[in-house]
Amino acid sequence: MIQYNTFKPIELIEEIQMKEKPDTRMDPVLEECYRMKEAFAAKFNSMQKLNDYLVAETEKNKALGRKYLPHRSPEPNAIRRINLFTRHPLDFTELL
């Protein structure tokens, strides 16, 4: 008769985690994103000030002749669907 070892899922997960070595390297793109985030947070102490700055930069770049694609308008029920999903994340019946 063959005897099998039985493990609980949590035991298997813990065993795998102990074998894995943490990756201490950082992706250079993520490093740049984090650096920019910190710089914006240091320069602007509110989202409104950051938004005002970005709008001003956009207008300045448009005046210099840079082209921007227009924003696509959202589908008619997009806001309602997002609100329904955030209130009831597991109930998809109302989305259909």
Number of folded domains in the chain?
Answer: 1
Handedness of CA 58, 59, 64, 68 (dihedral sign): positive
- Answer whether residue 38 is part of any domain: yes
- Answer whether residue 94 is part of any domain: no
- CA dist., res. 52 & res. 43, Å (int): 13
Q: What is the pLDDT of residues 8-60, one digit of tens each?
A: 777 777 777 666 665 666 788 888 988 988 888 888 888 888 889 989 999 99
- Answer whether residue 5 is part of any domain: no
Residue 21 confidence (pLDDT):
63
- Answer whether residue 52 is part of any domain: yes
- Answer whether residue 48 is part of any domain: yes
Say if pTM beats, i.e. exceeds, 0.85. no
- Answer whether residue 81 is part of any domain: no
pLDDT band at 90 (very low <50, low <70, confident <90, very high): low
- Answer whether residue 35 is part of any domain: yes
Spell out the residues 6+ positions from residue 25 whose beta carbon is closer than 8 angstroms to its own. Answer: none
pLDDT band at 64 (very low <50, low <70, confident <90, very high): very high
Residue range of the domain that includes 59: 27-63
- Answer whether residue 50 is part of any domain: yes
pLDDT band at 62 (very low <50, low <70, confident <90, very high): very high
